Structure 1
Amino acid sequence: MILRSAAALLLLALGCTHRAAAPGPTVQAEGDSGGAREPQRYISARAYHHYLDSLLAKNADDLVTAAEELREALLYDPESAYLHAVLADVLIKQSRIADADAELASALSLDPRHGPAHLLSGRIAVSRNQPMQARDHFQAAIEAQPDDPDAYRELVRLLLSTGDVAAAQAVAERLGERVQPAQGAAEDDGDALVAADRLREQAAAVFVEMGRWWAQHGDERAAERAFAQARSASPADPEALIAEATFLEARRKYADARERYLRLLAQRPESPEVIAALARVALAEGDVEAVTAHARKLLALAANLEPSDGASGDREDERRDVSVALLRVAVPLLGAHRSADAQLALEGALRLYPDHPELSFYRALALVQRGRPHEGALAFEAVERSLRARGEDPPSPAFLGIEPDALLLDAQVQSALARGRAGEAPESTRRLRALFAEHPAEEGVALALLEAFDRAGKASEAEQVLAASVRAHPDAGALLYPLGSAQDRAGMRQKALSTMRKVLAVQPQHAGALNYIGYTLTEQGKLADLREAEDLLARAVELRPDDGAIADSYGFCLLKLGRASEALAELRRADRLTPRDPVILSHLGDALLAAGKKEEALSAFRRALALLLPGSKRRPLAAEAQAMIDPPDRADRDGPRVRAEIEKKLKALAP
């Protein structure tokens, strides 16, 4: 657009050099200074030469030359409000705000209704925390140029920042009302069509901002309405689609979110970000097979890329985006105990970034989960050596944003846990004691120490160690959850419940504590307890939608509340997320029975019982937890009590 306008103006300037200056054509503002057509003004041919040179310099990021050329242009046309505004825009980009102010004052003295000058003056007022002045300037810009969307968007942002959401909504709707008339008036006029398309896109962007504001402030209906308005303004706008999809996903409206992501995928069929988002939604729905399919698509994209050479060379952005997406798919696959698929995804990313510490760390987790703890321990120790060799130089590129020191500590903890799983219990405990002494306030280290003690049958000793640490570090709220877990494993249920409530007092969004309290209250079964449990568990599901244990707790609570249909859907999801779990299968059987599906219920109970009989190949829950540093959010119920309960249910259903 800039080059086309510049070429047209250059031809005009050359054509005018042989005759007297005449009124110039319409001049369109460039860059951020405006977007609508200005009234015709007298601008001399010599001024145009300097103006065009300024545009070329500005496009080349040579702001000093651009400013000099504009000052030369103003020598010939000192009364051009437009040139003063364009110069002000360049000066703002140079952070010369006082000089820009002077140019804008000149522009507005020459033309009090000059829209671009009001727009820039409003932005300066915002930067100076002068909201009333900014508001007046933005409103004046809108009145001067009602089809220029920039002033609308700036005014909406300003009004939202000051809390005047009703006024912001009114401005957004006023912009939305300009879209259809502008589209209709454009017809076959190319420039008008471009302007109308820009108006439509910016209207969608303004409604997206409104939707995000409403969502952040808890008004779901208003947010839905704003996102619908964005869709109406520009149905295929990618930013509007992704914003609405993210909103719907956060509200657990997975089918609607998936539909938006699929529309986005139709526009960007090889977008790693969109494929990863679809995988995330599929996992939240419990459709692990779909997650695996999305991972395969990402692997195919990765296969078409060459490994990184350590520099930001050809297709580096593509390599990074695909690797991030593979990692974001692999991590929840690990949580869903699909470690073989997770390992494939991670190895695809590692082909692009060999020996990358973050990728290597999660691959080591996959090895441990797959029952290869010794190999996993060696892999964790290789990550530790790699990080130490780097010193203060962080891994590049950064994928999940993990600090190098935190990743180093995680590798040490996981290595120790893997050693314990490989049968080296004394070495595992020794390492974890040393790490806990060095990091007494780290929740992950404390949980790992608990796992080591619990594996050795010393949960009571772990409770004493952690209780002493809490007394020694009373401000370390991160120790409360490990202490509550230790109390639970040591059979101190009431103490554990009390401690978990303390966790929520300092960390209201702690999913583990929410789940523990919610499940405990559900087991107690009183109506008041169940109502509290439902609220707690709904929050836990929102925080960790891909956690099968939490989905099980929530489904079990819904079942106890008599909502069998909702419970059945949630428990089916839990079973898909965490297959082969006897407790989940037992609850699923109860829900199937409540829904009148006796034969399916019998099948679920029999599957659960088969997993509990001697000789079952199922891995213990504690071992699964220690492989992920994600200890159970409730007591280990996989034992004689669960088996007895299931046998009793089967006997009652026997013909």
Structure 2
Amino acid sequence: MGTELLKNAAVGTLVAATLAGGVIALLPRAPEPPRPAPGPAARAVAAAAAGAPATAAELTALIGERERWLRSRPEDEESWAVLGTAYAQRAAAFADWAALPRAESALQRSLKALPAAEGNTEALLGLSALAHARQDHMSARAFAEQALKQRPRRWTVHRALLDAYRGIGDYKSVGTTLEKLTALYSGPQSRALAARIYRERGWREDAAATAYDAAAAAEGPMERAAALVLLGDLAWDRGEPAEAAGSYDAALKLVPGHPGALAARARALAALDRTDEAFRDYQAAQRGRAVPEYALEEAELYESLGANEEAEAAYERVLASAAQAAAGGVNQELLLGRYEADHGDPQEAVRRLTEEWERGRHSMAAADALGWALLRAGRAKEALPYARRAMKESPRDPLFSYHRGEIERALGRYGAARRNIGQALRVNPHFSPLLAPRARAAMAALGDPPTGGPGRTAGTVIREGRSGTAGSGSMGVRQGAGSG
């Protein structure tokens, strides 16, 4: 079976992926294909047929097979699209940023052989995947929308649109696109994607049920490992680090060295006070890769333990990793904005994040980051609408709850601050090695609610509402959105 699948792929299958989930999808074949021997490339194609993620070795084998094929058939536009999208996936899934220019070159060769306007859907999907890997979500949406006009019933087109809408923060379109996708394809990858979206929106019970379905239906090791990582993430969200670590352990048994599982397990181990093991996993997750998000988590763990010298070295790795990713064309403004807000220059954070917002990046993460940067820059009144927007889209995210609570505390809205900071700690008391202790200190400083029952408390809220600040003119955020 693997030989036959590779046979089909060798003449013009496309890896049409959405990189957030690491999915490759098989596309139509051309006549008279060769019959290479089965091996890692065949397994990559088998995974592609199911829309499942492939391992680094499988992607490397598929890339090598396509490059060999194209040396003698340079006008095969579909194979150029396969090659380009595989390079883009390898970059996004394994932080191989040097693969991004190669992806772009291959996709442009595909378009030269068959322009997009003449029906090169495969190259359009590859370009959308490449733009998503670079966190250029507006371009990702434009390419996916072009592909949709050509192939409206291909489920991977809707998958590409979903990833773009999530990056932009168009959550109404996320919902409608997910419905269309699941109507076209109900396999395990569709369920895994739905579970991730439910998790983002705070629908934890739905997310858990759907994630278990995806795990049960998963077949290949990489696909099953991805489902186990998702189940671990959901346990982490519930504040259950031991259960989360167990899921990550199982994923790593299937795919040793899985970078996402290593970093996630490090988070859980730190919450269990197994810090030596946590640092081991953070270092393994970054070995041979420039992943600034992992370096930032590691640095904050060092700082929380008072290991200032090690923290400083790790913060330097954050900037070096971000620069390396940016050299491959990856937009690092959100990551750098978060870094500057907490560990650098808050004014610089506001500048970076405001520019991102004005470019159209209105995701819940972007709203939370900008609100927090504004608070850190001493502009709490302007920060509140962004914090409200983030929590409207994801009301159970403990980081968003904590950030909003601190903004409200700065504005003298002590009842709302107590409610939101308390919620962060109830949802996950381990949500951040640096910020969770600060959240507990803030709750102690806020003290108990006023006595006198609901009437007195309601009066306090009304007074806070009159003195509150909806942040007029705050770059398009709906006033009062998600005020809770």
TM (normalized to structure 1)?
0.41
Aligned counterpart in structure 2 of residue 557 of structure 1, from 360, 363, 373: 373
Q: Does 1:283 align with 2:199?
A: yes
Q: Is the 8 A contact 2:202 2:397 kept in 1?
A: yes
Q: Number of aligned pairs?
A: 366
Q: Does 1:605 align with 2:417?
A: yes
One-letter identity of the residue aligned with 1:165: Q
| Inter-CA distance 572–409: structure 2 relative to 1 (3 Å threshold) | closer
One-letter identity of the residue aligned with 2:405: S
User: What pairs up with 1:152-171 in 2 under 5 angstroms?
Assistant: 153-154=78-79, 162=105, 165=108, 168=111, 171=114
Distance in 1 of aligned mates of 2:229 and 2:35: 37
| Inter-CA distance 414–337: structure 2 relative to 1 (3 Å threshold) | closer
CA drift at 1:265: 0.6
Distance in 2 of aligned mates of 1:124 and 1:490: 50
Deviations, residues 150-202 of structure 1 (Å, cap 9, x unaligned): x55357679976568398268334523xxxxxxxxxxxxxxxxxxxxxxxxxx
Q: Does 1:232 align with 2:125?
A: no
Secondary structure class of the residue paired with 2:152: coil
One-letter identity of the residue aligned with 1:531: R
Q: Which residue of 2 aligns with 1:62?
A: none
CA drift at 1:501: 4.0
Deviations, residues 480-503 of structure 1 (Å, cap 9, x unaligned): 9756644455497xx798555413
Q: Which residue of 2 aligns with 1:48?
A: none
Q: Which residue of 1 aligns with 2:176?
A: 259
Distance in 2 of aligned mates of 1:320 and 1:163: 28
Q: Which residue of 1 aligns with 2:35?
A: 93
Q: Which residue of 1 aligns with 2:405?
A: 586
| Inter-CA distance 205–501: structure 2 relative to 1 (3 Å threshold) | same
Deviations, residues 295-331 of structure 1 (Å, cap 9, x unaligned): 32455788xx8xxxxxxxxxx8669899667535422
Q: Is the 8 A contact 2:158 2:177 kept in 1?
A: yes
Q: Which residue of 1 aligns with 2:480?
A: none
CA drift at 1:247: 3.5
| Inter-CA distance 407–206: structure 2 relative to 1 (3 Å threshold) | closer
Distance in 1 of aligned mates of 2:147 and 2:370: 34
CA drift at 1:569: 0.5
Q: Is the 8 A contact 2:296 2:314 kept in 1?
A: yes
Q: Which residue of 1 aligns with 2:246?
A: 361
CA drift at 1:228: 1.8
Q: Which residue of 2 aligns with 1:330?
A: 231
One-letter identity of the residue aligned with 1:638: A
One-letter identity of the residue aligned with 2:417: F
Deviations, residues 520-568 of structure 1 (Å, cap 9, x unaligned): 369x76x445325768999xx99xx898xx9755432246652543332
Aligned counterpart in structure 1 of residue 206 of structure 2, from 264, 288, 293: 293
Secondary structure class of the residue paired with 1:507: helix
What root-mean-square deviation, in Å, do the aligned CA atoms of Structure 1 and Structure 2 show? 6.1
Distance in 2 of aligned mates of 1:228 and 1:405: 31
Distance in 2 of aligned mates of 1:294 and 1:416: 25
Q: Which residue of 1 aligns with 2:321?
A: 507
| Inter-CA distance 126–479: structure 2 relative to 1 (3 Å threshold) | closer
Deviations, residues 568-603 of structure 1 (Å, cap 9, x unaligned): 20244565112896x445236369x7xxxx9xx564
One-letter identity of the residue aligned with 1:567: A
Q: Is the 8 A contact 2:162 2:174 kept in 1?
A: yes
Q: Is the 8 A contact 1:152 1:171 kept in 2?
A: yes
Distance in 1 of aligned mates of 2:310 and 2:262: 31
CA drift at 1:263: 0.7
Q: Which residue of 1 aligns with 2:115?
A: 172
Q: Structure 1: give runs of 5+ residues left out of the alignment.
A: 1-29, 35-84, 96-122, 136-150, 177-202, 306-315, 344-358, 366-379, 388-393, 421-427, 446-476, 626-630
User: What pairs up with 1:516-595 in 2 under 5 angstroms?
Assistant: 517-520=339-342, 527-528=347-348, 530-532=350-352, 552-558=368-374, 562=382, 564-573=384-393, 575-578=395-398, 583-587=402-406, 589=408
Q: Structure 2: give runs of 5+ residues left out of the alignment.
A: 1-7, 13-29, 38-64, 85-102, 285-291, 326-331, 451-459, 468-484
CA drift at 1:338: 5.8
| Inter-CA distance 605–152: structure 2 relative to 1 (3 Å threshold) | closer
Q: Is the 8 A contact 2:405 2:417 kept in 1?
A: yes
One-letter identity of the residue aligned with 1:632: P
| Inter-CA distance 575–414: structure 2 relative to 1 (3 Å threshold) | closer
Q: Is the 8 A contact 1:586 1:646 kept in 2?
A: no
Distance in 2 of aligned mates of 1:413 and 1:164: 37
One-letter identity of the residue aligned with 2:396: R
| Inter-CA distance 235–338: structure 2 relative to 1 (3 Å threshold) | farther
Deviations, residues 30-57 of structure 1 (Å, cap 9, x unaligned): 99889xxxxxxxxxxxxxxxxxxxxxxx
Distance in 2 of aligned mates of 1:256 and 1:609: 31
Distance in 1 of aligned mates of 2:154 and 2:208: 26
| Inter-CA distance 156–411: structure 2 relative to 1 (3 Å threshold) | closer
Q: Which residue of 1 aligns with 2:90?
A: none
Distance in 1 of aligned mates of 2:78 and 2:390: 42
Distance in 2 of aligned mates of 1:512 and 1:576: 21
Q: Which residue of 1 aligns with 2:190?
A: 274
TM (normalized to structure 2)?
0.53
Secondary structure class of the residue paired with 1:93: coil
Q: Is the 8 A contact 1:585 1:605 kept in 2?
A: yes
User: What pairs up with 1:149-228 in 2 under 5 angstroms?
Assistant: 153-154=78-79, 162=105, 165=108, 168=111, 171-176=114-119, 203-216=120-133, 221-228=138-145
Distance in 1 of aligned mates of 2:157 and 2:166: 14
Distance in 1 of aligned mates of 2:138 and 2:427: 45
Percent of paired sites with the same residue: 13
